[in-house]
């Protein structure tokens, strides 16, 4: 477990809540569900507050951002039905390699999923659909927003990689680390020390979620960038 997460509590992560749902901002490096390498995960933190709480969906361990919890069985079923019917709106932000002008770009390549990875496969893949838009351009990178209409494993990562925009620090999908020395002129670091990347995880953040409560009212939530993602953006802007 990441050293900063040892003393974290569920209450520290709450963005908003009502009688049926709790929205939390998941830090990077903590699993959503049980992880064999780690006893502490998002669900176990929630269960410390109430055994009734159920996690409605999951994020990859390295991915930060908004996650929805249900406080009761009716709320859980309500969210699950919306997820199945593709009625839950989720917006992700990612920092990609290269300069890309995505304007309501539709990535609709079918994805074939194995136990650890997804890849574009036009013969055996399942229908997959991601809307992509560019938010900000830097010297060698682009901040993009992604709306996954379907919910395949690693869908955003696979689709972006297929369109030659792999996410920073995502080696599984061709995304290399990003270093300050690539942006800053006359950057000096001690020759005997290895330079650290600007972010040491997949640069992907679940920014927003919107869905309907049991009474039909829309619940919306937005998760702030965690420190590492925020620092990455600041450095890219500074040396743009």
Compute the half-sphere exposure of residue 140: CA atoms within 13 Å on the CB side of its CA.
Answer: 15
DSSP-assigned letters across all residues of 81-101? HHHHTT--EEEEEEEEES---
- Between CA 231 and CA 236 the distance in angstroms is 9
What is the rounded radius of gyration, in angstroms, for the C-alpha atoms of the chain?
Answer: 19
Catalytic residue flag (residue 60): yes
Least Cα distance to 10 among 52, 35, 47 occurs for 47
> What element of type H or E holds 53?
none
Q: How far apart are CA 92 and CA 78, in angstroms?
A: 22
Nearest to 58 by CA among 21, 75, 83, 87: 83
Q: Is the four-CA dihedral 98, 126, 146, 30 of positive or negative sign?
A: negative
Please, are residues 86 and 117 in contact by the beta-carbon 8 Å criterion?
Answer: no
8 Å CB contact between 93 and 134: no
Please tell me the distance from the alpha carbon of residue 44 to that of residue 30, in angstroms, as a whole number.
11
- Which one is catalytic: 34, 35, 38, 60? 60
Q: Which residues are catalytic?
A: 60
């Amino acid at each position: 477990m990441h050293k900063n997460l040892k003393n974290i509590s569920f209450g520290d992560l709450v963005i908003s809540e009502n009688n049926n749902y709790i929205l939390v901002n998941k830090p990077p490096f903590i699993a959503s569900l049980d992880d064999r390498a780690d006893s502490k995960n998002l669900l176990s933190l929630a269960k410390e507050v109430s055994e009734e709480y159920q996690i409605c969906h999951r994020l990859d361990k390295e991915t930060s951002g908004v996650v929805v919890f249900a406080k009761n069985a009716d709320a859980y079923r309500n969210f699950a039905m919306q997820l199945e019917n593709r009625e839950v709106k989720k917006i992700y932000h990612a920092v990609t390699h290269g300069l890309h002008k995505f304007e309501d770009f539709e990535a609709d390549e079918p994805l074939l999923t194995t136990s650890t990875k997804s890849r574009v496969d036009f013969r055996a893949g399942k229908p997959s659909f991601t809307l992509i838009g560019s938010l900000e351009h830097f010297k060698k990178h682009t901040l993009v927003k992604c709306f996954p209409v379907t919910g395949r494993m690693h869908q955003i990562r696979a689709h972006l990689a297929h369109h030659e925009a792999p996410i920073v620090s995502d080696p599984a999908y061709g995304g290399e680390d990003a270093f300050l020395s690539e942006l800053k002129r006359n950057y000096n670091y001690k020759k005997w020390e290895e330079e650290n990347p600007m972010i040491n995880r997949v640069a992907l953040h679940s920014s927003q979620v919107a869905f309907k409560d049991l009474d039909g009212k829309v619940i919306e939530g937005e998760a702030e960038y965690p420190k590492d993602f925020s620092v990455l953006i600041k450095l890219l802007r500074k040396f743009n």
